[in-house]
Structure 1
Amino acid sequence: MGCLLLCLYLFLFHFPSFLYSSSLNFLCHHDESVALLQLKSSFTYDTMKTATWKNGTDCCSWHGVKCDTLSRHVTELDLSYEGLDGEVPPQISHLSKLTSLRLSYNYGLVWKESTLKRLVQNATNLKEMFLDYTDMSSIKINSFDLLFNHSSSLVTLSLQNTGLRGNLKKRIICLPSIQELYMSGSYIEGELPQFSCSPFLRILDFSSGDFEGPIPLSFSNLTHLTYLSLTGNYLNDSIPSSLLTLPRLTFLYLENNELSGQVPDVFCNSNKFKEIDLSENKISGKLPSSLSNLQHLIHLDLSYNSFRDQIPNVFGGMRKLHQISLTFNKLRGKIPSSLFNLSQLVKLDCSHNKLEGPIHKITGFQKLTYLSLNDNQLNETIPSSLLSLPSLVTLDLSNNHFTGLTSGISLYSLKELYLSNNKFQGNIPESIFNLTNLTTIDLSTNNFSGVVDFQHFSKLQNLDSLSLSYNGQLSLNFESNSNYTFSTLTELKLSSLGLNEFPMSSLKSSSLKYLDLSNNKLKGSLPNWLPKSMYYFGFLNLSQNLLTSINQISRNSYMLGGLDLSFNLLNGELSPSICNMSYLNFLSMAHNKLTGDRVPKSLSNCRNLQVLNLGSNKIEDHFPYWIQTLQDFKVLILRDNKFHGPIDNTKVKYPFPSLIIFDISGNNFSGPLPKGYLNFFEAMRTVAQVEENSIFQYMDTNIMNDTQQYYDSVTVETKGKKITLVKIPTIFVIIDLSRNKFEGEIPIVIGELHTLIGLNLSHNRLSGNIPQSMGNLTSLEWLDLSSNMLTGIIPSDLTYLNFLEVLDLSNNHLLGEIPQGKQFNTFSNDSYEGNSGLCGLPLSKKCGPEQQSPPSPDKLWSEEKFGFGWKPVAMGYGCGFVFGIGLGYCMFLFGKPRWLVMIFGGQPKRRVKRRTRVRMTNGSTMNQMIQMS
């Protein structure tokens, strides 16, 4: 009994104090609590996690903070995705017992080098550090070894997209315990670093950087490496064989570099790989038949290379493959049967090659969701085994030679169907109308015929895009008193179908933004069927019809972004009411019968206007000066009208800063060339605007937050030949002032327009010398100065125009010896005819002693160096990449300029700086992009 009373006494009077004493031991350490509060105070505002951080409370209970259960030291700090904004304070280094630090995706979080160095030195137990998407731009990359080298505890270090930049001079990185290193998205230049004392490195990601040179042979020492990504750099040379023999390497990503040569034989001698991506390089040769050894491979991407010949029939044992991409190569022959047997395959892309023959019977593909075989030479009928795949979502067979279907289409999971530009005949298969999940149908540019009740398409309530264009024998039946309801339709293309009417008032689609009714037989005034809701449209194409008036459009088109009314019968004056379309950024009314004496000044209300084409009309006016105030204006075409008077009248400080096409040829403009404008054509000056290896990009238009690509045609005239471009790439930079009455000298400033591809000043009254500064136009592909009154010699600087393939200096008063060398050796007599004072090759007239050759640029440079007083010559030789390889005499021999073939028919360059891959647009008129007229 006494013992029981004693125990009760101790419990009542002593245990509470024991609890209190013990609770003090379970609070976090004071200095670490202070450090965390100072970290919080450096942020501009509280976040969801830091809002729980209160002075006087246990920091181990705060959100984002974890402590050791015994020592109560802070060991983990996680404030990722908190939107933190502010400089990291030095007191963070007081958290010396940290093992894990996660601050990723706080774009406004700024690091000082001293703070990061102090943290790494003090936190000697730190095992993982995730600082992705924080700001380290002030840290020098060559301080990396001072910051992290010999950090014996770090196992995982992630510094993706932190703004680290500079040239890596000290290439040795020593991280004794590192297993995972992520540094993608850096601006680090120089060769890849070599890793020493890092024997356990498993994952290495240096993608999307600025590294160059070969892959170091020292990488073959990383024997524990399982994952390697060097994507999106400037690496060159061949792939080292030793890299491919690493015993544990299973994920290899080398795409978007400049690697060349053939794939090493050892590449396929191991069955350990799971994912391989070597796309977007310069790798050539045949696909190795030893691919069959890669039996554990899941993902294979060899696209955008130069592989040639047949695809080997090696896929029979590669049963684990989920994705295969061989697009944009030079593969020929038939598709091997073993490729169609893969049961686990989800995606197959063999597009943009030269594959031919029929498609074999498909026995696999039960899980296939994406199949792209477009832009090949496949033919015959599409087998029923393909038309009944159970999981297929996207099927693209466009731009081939298919003639028909063996049976109806029963792809009930299908959402996207592309069959354009083939040789299909007969009626459109009725089975298409049972595919209720379809969002996109493109049947354009075929030989479909018969009558189709348009009501059938309204069964497809998920339809977003429908194209039936360029089926000349196809008839659409629109029933009277019928409503065609589409809840999601945004794009409708019905070009070249012989339509003389279209009951737009019966079309119920609140989302329609793109309507193409071009090349039909619509006539009279703009039809009354245009709906009152037309102001939601993005683009309306009514070109190549028989319309005579556009009164209707101005009332219902407030937010219309693009309007093409070219090649109609519009007459009278250009209505000022068209200026009510204040969101308009594309307007083409070329090739009509418009007359009158003023282009409406109120068009300046269209502040977004980028393209204006009024060419081939009968408009009489002075130059429309108000256009120069539009800052985003890119294309002005006024050719073949009756404009007149001088045009050098700049009324704003920086006129036409974005202009890339300036065509006012075939008018009656007079006075001097517009030097005032040439001084401010900023988009024509900056070589950086045409990025090396960039894919051609077309002018786009943002309508109601949607991006649409709008195309216009431009006619380029040289030496009496006309070339019509259906699409205008943004790097197609031209000036055409020909066939006017301009007089005086050619301004020297024209030599500063470095991105010019074409310059035509022919058939004017220009006098004086050809400016020596034209030798700076190193992107120039054609130059026409014919039929003027130019005098003096031909500047030898022009020989430095390495891409010049068309030159016409005929019918002037030039004299002296024709410069020799480089491109000038390719020009024939007719480039110089009508200049009686010229001599030397290619003319038969030889130069006498009195007709001395003009001094070469090298001689001028030498004389300047030794004090003869000559001005240095601006040498544009070798300035780098130019889009295309110019118009040449091959244009007249073969009918297709080589640079146009590269733009619209060849394999495109792929990489844009910062690694944006752009896919070529498969337009319905892809095969008609180059027209000679």
Structure 2
Amino acid sequence: MMLVVLRVVVCVHMLMLFHFVCLSSHSCHPEENSALLHFKTQLITNTTSYEDYYYYENCRHVYPKMRTWENGTDCCTWMGVTCHPVSGHVIGLDLACSALQGIIHPNNTLFHLTHLQTLSFAFNDFYGSELSSQFSKLVSLTHLNLSGCGFEGEIPSQISHLSKLQSLDLSFNYGLMWKETTWKRLLQNTSCLREIVLDDTNMSSIGPTPNPLSLIANLSSTLVTLSLVYTEIRGSLINDILCLPNLQHLILRGNKLSVHLSELSCTISLSILDLSYCDIQGPISSPFSNLTRLTSLNLAENHLNGSIPSSLLNLQRLTDLDLSWNKLSGQIPNVFDRITNLQTLSLHDNNFQGMLPSSLFTLTRLSQLDCSYNQIEGPLPNEVAFSNLTQLILNNNLLNGTIPWWPLSFKSLRYLDLSNNQFTGHINSQIKSYSLEYLYLCDNKLQGNFSESIYDLVNLTGLCLSSNNWSSTVNFSLFSKLQKLEYLSLSGCNSLLLESETSISYTFFNLYVLQLLSNNIIGWSKFSGKFPQLEYLELSNNKLEGKVPKWIHDIPSLFHLKLSHNMFTSIGHQFPWYQFDYLDLSFNLMDDDISSFFCNATSLKVINLSHNRFTGTFPQCLANTSSLVDLDIQMNKLHGNLSDTFKHRGLDTLNLNGNQFKGLLPKSLSNCTYLVDLDLGDNQFEDTFPHWLQNLSRLEILVLRGNKLYGPIANLKSENIFPSLIIFDISRNNFSGSLPKAYIQNFQAMKIVDDEVRSRLVDYIDTSAGSGVRNIRPEYDNSVIATIKGANTPFAKIPRAFVNIDMSENKFEGDIPDVIGELQALKDLNLSHNRLVGHIPYSLGNLTNLESLDLSSNMLTGNIPTELTNMNFLEVLNLSQNQLVGPIPKGKQFDTFLNDSYGGNMELCGLPLSIQCNNNVPLQQYPSSEAEDKFGFGWKSVAIGYACGMVLGIGLGFCVFSIGKPQWLVIIFGGKRIKRRNRGNRRARTT
């Protein structure tokens, strides 16, 4: 009986408690209700800001939750608000992805909600707000998530007062900065932290001494997740951290860390380890193999070398392994049968060789495989065990043979990239991978016909079939069946039919990139297709002729157009240049007058009109265009004076070579401080040397060849004259005076042989000039014509390793400066057809990378220095038409040169000449006829002068012998000698 009564009492109490809870759960405290409503008035809701890609990735859905907050309603019923079931206090506020904007000031009523336990403002826009110290009033907080809110400034030290915190997420607040004392206090006072996520906050002021990671030892009993992605934290990854008993997720991506791990003897619970982009050097260390609970290991983008240790593949729980972007080499170990749970494997951008291991194709759970950009060779196997494969990326290798059936048959496959290999054969089999979204087979040796089943892949977004040898006629209109297609690259077809077979106008609704290169295009002028979204169109190298057709002009969204290497004669209709970004019409037959073509060009960055027949004057509008980066109009028929209104500092390339421009060089080019390539060669400019360009610290190519430039090049006293220059061509002008020694000795980039080191020098110069670091290109995109090894050589793209000085065909005189021998990166040096005298400097022997040396047609004297035999790469040598004497050096490259390298030097001897050397000193020979023409007197004049001088000398000698040294002779000759010596002393002191 008592038991029954007790049960009744308990039931009654439970009913009363349930009734109380139900009542209280809908009862919000008035002061908290008021605080929330006031908080709402301080912010606005703006859903349009969430169109940004960043927010889209983190907020798949946006809920403007505060729109449900209305006065007179219970706050416990509002979206995003959680109340305590008994007390009714607001204990939870989740406004993540709520499209909020505004500033959270320190006096905000938010900080009156002192019972809050969880608070999330993730991915709203509080840009400009400082992280207020008032957050410390929320002492009951266990979970605080302010990720991606735009907070900035120093993190207040009072955050350490939140001693109950279990989860802290301040990630993606790029303006937040940590102080070392704040970091230490947080770790000391918050002993319950299980999750710390501080990605993309600034921790650069912490450490490296004491090691900021070792401070985490205070959380040894609680910490489960530590994520410090791109925080600029410095320090060492040591055993103590990996041995934290509950640590499961350690993500340190994008920091510069040193890894000092010995053998691990602790029990490790770590399942996710991400040390990618951490600048780790050396081979993969053995302790990683002891992390037996690892499911995900990411060591991408480091400097790891050597081979993959087989022990690493003993991690049987591993599902994700990323070793990409390293310097790993050798063969990939054939031990994947040990890690049968593997789902993703990324080994791309290494130096792996040999065949793919057979055990790799036995992984039944593998969904993503990326081994691209290696040197893997051999065929793919005919049979595999894959059943869940979604991505297969093997491009840029040496794979060969035919493409087997399975890559084109898996129903689960969405991404297939086999491009840039050596696959051969046909693709005639039925393609059954209907889920394919990206199919890249370009740059192989495939042949035959297209498989008709390609047109049935209705999910295709990207399709690349270029640079193969397709033999059939391809009907372009059939690709309109692929309504999701965004990217199409197709070249190398025997014939590509563009003209529609019927009157139907085909529409490519989503296509935004179309590349039809090197095809035999049929019916292009009558094509009637529509491209409402097309942005990139490339039709290069197709022998297209006539005017640019109307269907191209009618593409409304076009801003990238490349029609180079065709036979177009006119642009035709006027393009809406204001929307264009990139225009390449080079290597055609266009003869339009372009004087005023680009006056509505407000967005054009790259314009290449080179190698055409364009007429008119320089388009004045282009000099004032603020967006322009590259302008190449070389080899046309443009004329007139060049505009002197260049203002845009961002101009990178200006190539006007091979036109008929005249007048003065525009001094306003000195405003273009980002100039890298300036080519004004082969025009009719008439001016002195543009010394006002010397402060363009980024300038790497300067070509003034073939103009009417004149006068001496002043030896300006500056320490920063063209420090980045690697091509200096001022040949075929009328420059006079001595060679510009002050310029040559400041060509710093030419002194550095290593291309990477030279690039870092340019980076340093750019940074020190306050312009920031730019990407260094392995080659220059614009073309140039240079005199290389005695012949005019056109470069479609200029290799960065090409370093050249050409000052030939001028009127330079005096000696060759010794400082040229310091330019050890030089590949080509041409000083021919000047009036240079003196000896060939021994220092030229230091130019061990020189491939061509031309000092011909000068007045050089003395021996050929034996040091020149150090030039191991010298292919072309021309020392002809000088006054060199003595034996020709022997050995190395000098044994390969023929007679014409030395012609016109009458006192040279030895091979390959027929004149043998002996111990007698050769007689001085008369100058060649070419030298006579060059200097205006010949051997007859010299002989007459010699005879007269001899008679005068004998007479004077007789007088001296008879009467002693006469005073008048001393006055005439001795006085002059004294005066000359005094003038020489004064000049030396002045210098």
Q: TM-score range by the shorter chain?
A: 0.7 to 0.9
Find out whether 1:738 has 2:808 as its counterpart. Answer: yes
- Check the 8 A contact 2:149/2:173 in 1, yes or no: yes
**CA distance 1:215–1:555, shift in 2 (3 Å):** closer
Q: 1-side partners of 2:759 and 2:415: how far apart? A: 28
In structure 2, the partner of 1:13 is: none
| Alpha-carbon RMSD | 4.6
- Check the 8 A contact 2:725/2:749 in 1, yes or no: yes
In structure 1, the partner of 2:740 is: 674
**CA distance 1:648–1:832, shift in 2 (3 Å):** farther
Give percent identity, aligned residues only: 38
Give the 5 Å matches for 1:757-836.
758-766=828-836, 780=849, 782-787=851-856, 789=860, 794=865, 799=870, 804=873, 806=875, 808=877, 810-811=879-880, 813=884, 824=892, 828-830=896-898, 833-834=901-902
In structure 2, the partner of 1:724 is: 794
Find out whether 1:712 has 2:782 as its counterpart. Answer: yes
The correspondence for 2:370, drawn from 301, 316, 329, is 301
Q: Deviations over 1:617-639 (max 9, x none)?
A: 34443223333354544432122
Q: 1-side partners of 2:916 and 2:325: how far apart? A: 53
Q: 2-side partners of 1:611 and 1:692: how far apart? A: 16
In structure 1, the partner of 2:729 is: 663
Give the 5 Å matches for 1:737-756.
737-750=807-820, 753=823, 756=826
Could you tell me how far 1:280 is from its partner in structure 2?
0.8
Q: 1-side partners of 2:112 and 2:591: how far apart? A: 82
Give the 5 Å matches for 1:337-352.
337-352=405-420
The correspondence for 1:134, drawn from 197, 201, 204, is 201
Q: 2-side partners of 1:225 and 1:298: how far apart? A: 18
Q: 2-side partners of 1:394 and 1:707: how far apart? A: 29
Q: TM-score, normalised by structure 2?
A: 0.69
* Amino acid paired to 2:691: Y
Q: 2-side partners of 1:117 and 1:816: how far apart? A: 77
Q: Deviations over 1:541-585 (max 9, x none)?
A: 33333334236x3368742724433222345x4343785989755
**CA distance 1:600–1:220, shift in 2 (3 Å):** closer
The correspondence for 1:643, drawn from 709, 728, 735, is 709
**CA distance 1:345–1:521, shift in 2 (3 Å):** same
In structure 2, the partner of 1:588 is: 655
Find out whether 1:448 has 2:518 as its counterpart. Answer: no
**CA distance 1:785–1:474, shift in 2 (3 Å):** closer
Could you tell me how far 1:597 is from its partner in structure 2?
4.7
* Amino acid paired to 1:222: L
- Check the 8 A contact 1:558/1:582 in 2, yes or no: no
In structure 1, the partner of 2:268 is: 199
- Check the 8 A contact 1:194/1:216 in 2, yes or no: no
The correspondence for 1:381, drawn from 449, 454, 472, is 449
- Check the 8 A contact 2:428/2:450 in 1, yes or no: no
Give the 5 Å matches for 1:175-186.
175-186=244-255
* Amino acid paired to 1:390: V
**CA distance 1:77–1:680, shift in 2 (3 Å):** farther
The correspondence for 1:58, drawn from 83, 100, 114, is 114
In structure 2, the partner of 1:549 is: 616
Moved more, 675-684 or 175-184: 675-684
* Amino acid paired to 2:142: T
Could you tell me how far 1:236 is from its partner in structure 2?
0.9
Counterpart secondary structure, 2:312:
helix
Q: 2-side partners of 1:714 and 1:65: how far apart? A: 56
Q: Deviations over 1:174-219 (max 9, x none)?
A: 3232111111112224666765525111000110121112112221
Unaligned regions of 5+ residues in structure 2, if any?
A: 1-27, 33-82, 85-101, 123-133, 922-991
In structure 2, the partner of 1:120 is: 187
**CA distance 1:215–1:601, shift in 2 (3 Å):** closer
Q: 2-side partners of 1:765 and 1:98: how far apart? A: 83
* Amino acid paired to 1:808: L
Greater per-residue helix proportion: 2
In structure 1, the partner of 2:581 is: 513
- Check the 8 A contact 2:586/2:611 in 1, yes or no: yes
* Amino acid paired to 1:662: F
Q: 2-side partners of 1:570 and 1:713: how far apart? A: 18
* Amino acid paired to 1:148: I
The correspondence for 1:248, drawn from 317, 322, 330, is 317
The correspondence for 1:414, drawn from 485, 503, 506, is 485
Find out whether 1:363 has 2:419 as its counterpart. Answer: no
- Check the 8 A contact 2:577/2:602 in 1, yes or no: no
Unaligned regions of 5+ residues in structure 1, if any?
A: 1-18, 29-45, 852-933
- Check the 8 A contact 1:145/1:173 in 2, yes or no: no
Could you tell me how far 1:663 is from its partner in structure 2?
1.7
**CA distance 1:728–1:130, shift in 2 (3 Å):** same
Q: 2-side partners of 1:339 and 1:365: how far apart? A: 8
Counterpart secondary structure, 1:351:
coil
Find out whether 1:626 has 2:697 as its counterpart. Answer: no
Counterpart secondary structure, 1:453:
coil
Counterpart secondary structure, 1:243:
helix
Q: 2-side partners of 1:845 and 1:152: how far apart? A: 92
Could you tell me how far 1:725 is from its partner in structure 2?
1.1
Q: 2-side partners of 1:200 and 1:826: how far apart? A: 69
**CA distance 1:123–1:713, shift in 2 (3 Å):** same
- Check the 8 A contact 1:628/1:652 in 2, yes or no: no
Counterpart secondary structure, 2:456:
coil
Find out whether 1:290 has 2:359 as its counterpart. Answer: yes
Q: 1-side partners of 2:347 and 2:900: how far apart? A: 50
The correspondence for 1:466, drawn from 532, 537, 549, is 537
In structure 1, the partner of 2:104 is: 48
The correspondence for 2:256, drawn from 180, 187, 199, is 187
* Amino acid paired to 2:731: S
**CA distance 1:627–1:239, shift in 2 (3 Å):** same
- Check the 8 A contact 2:355/2:378 in 1, yes or no: yes
Q: Deviations over 1:681-721 (max 9, x none)?
A: 45556779735999x99xx9x9xx99999832123333323
Q: 1-side partners of 2:700 and 2:813: how far apart? A: 26
Could you tell me how far 1:360 is from its partner in structure 2?
3.6
Q: 2-side partners of 1:797 and 1:165: how far apart? A: 50
Q: 2-side partners of 1:818 and 1:844: how far apart? A: 15
In structure 2, the partner of 1:568 is: 636
Equivalenced residues, count = 786
Could you tell me how far 1:263 is from its partner in structure 2?
1.0
Q: 2-side partners of 1:790 and 1:204: how far apart? A: 70
Give the 5 Å matches for 1:495-506.
495-505=564-574
Could you tell me how far 1:599 is from its partner in structure 2?
2.7
Could you tell me how far 1:421 is from its partner in structure 2?
4.4
In structure 2, the partner of 1:81 is: 148
Return the index of the structure with the highest Cα Rg: 2
Could you tell me how far 1:748 is from its partner in structure 2?
4.7
- Check the 8 A contact 1:194/1:219 in 2, yes or no: no
Find out whether 1:310 has 2:379 as its counterpart. Answer: yes
Q: 2-side partners of 1:761 and 1:172: how far apart? A: 64
**CA distance 1:662–1:194, shift in 2 (3 Å):** farther
In structure 2, the partner of 1:354 is: 422
- Check the 8 A contact 1:190/1:210 in 2, yes or no: no
Q: Deviations over 1:823-881 (max 9, x none)?
A: x5697335995389999999999999999xxxxxxxxxxxxxxxxxxxxxxxxxxxxxx
Could you tell me how far 1:59 is from its partner in structure 2?
6.6
- Check the 8 A contact 2:656/2:680 in 1, yes or no: yes
- Check the 8 A contact 1:348/1:371 in 2, yes or no: yes
- Check the 8 A contact 1:268/1:292 in 2, yes or no: no
* Amino acid paired to 2:491: S
Q: TM-score, normalised by structure 1?
A: 0.73
Moved more, 118-127 or 682-691: 682-691
